[in-house]
Amino acid sequence: MRKRYIASAAAIILVIAIIAAAIYYIPKSVKLTVSGIQYRLGEENKQIVEPIEVNIDGRIGRLWNGDRFFEGDISLPQLQLPIPDSAKLMRISLGEDHSGTMTYHYVEDGSPSLFSLGTVFFSKDFEALTILLLDRDESGGGSWNAQNGAMLSAPAANREQALILSNQLMKQFLQGAEELK
């Protein structure tokens, strides 16, 4: 009788462990279209504000080591990127602060190429995001800074809402530095 009780308890524990692992590791679908704001930081750049639509269609998952990722597409139709329409967003490895680098892969004239758009910060529920948009230099490289860097935040209806969202999502990244303005 005791062996049967132990076997039943072990089977129940195994089923619970399998269900918990499935919940933890099976990717979750993310499909979202939100209106946002593209803007530039700095008091002198307050007038640089443009509405933008953000379409997210992908999935959030975990690797077996627990690292999180986003796989899919983040479409920014109004943002004119210097890449072909065939470019694909590579898997974004997400850090503890739900951020990662947005890099596109494409083949042009028979040669593979990469284009880094910037760093994306997602909210915990993946319903909001902020992107640090790299400014391009003559050689094709990019940079960003907190004084006058280009940003994109959604959902947001104006620059003030976009800044609040950016400061919330980037709190860990800013590490106690002055809030973005």
DSSP per residue, 98-164: SEEEEEEEEEETTEEEEEEEEEEEE-TTSS-EEEEEPEE-TTS-EE--TTT-EEEEES-SSHHHHHH
Question: 155 is written with which tokens?
Answer: 């959902």
Contact of 130 with 122, CB cutoff 8 Å: no
- The answer as to whether 74 is a domain residue is yes
- The answer as to whether 6 is a domain residue is no
- The answer as to whether 22 is a domain residue is no
pLDDT at residue 26, rounded to an integer: 80
- The residue ranges of the chain whose pLDDT is under 50 are none
> Hey, how many other C-beta atoms are within 10 angstroms of the C-beta on 113?
14
CA 124 to mean position of chain CA atoms: 10
- The answer as to whether 57 is a domain residue is yes
H helix or E strand, kind and range, residue 52 = strand 49-62
- The answer as to whether 67 is a domain residue is yes
pLDDT at residue 139, rounded to an integer: 77
- The answer as to whether 86 is a domain residue is yes
Question: 112 is written with which tokens?
Answer: 């593979």
pLDDT at residue 157, rounded to an integer: 96
- The answer as to whether 2 is a domain residue is no
CA distances from 21 to 16, 25, 27, 68, 122 (A): 9, 6, 11, 14, 23
pLDDT at residue 1, rounded to an integer: 66
CA 163 to mean position of chain CA atoms: 17
pTM equals: 0.86
- DSSP assignment, residue 175? T
- The answer as to whether 146 is a domain residue is yes
Residue 54 phi/psi, 5-degree rounding, is -120, 125
Q: How many domains does the chain have?
A: 1
Contact of 107 with 115, CB cutoff 8 Å: no
pLDDT at residue 53, rounded to an integer: 96
Q: Which domain holds residue 138?
A: 27-174
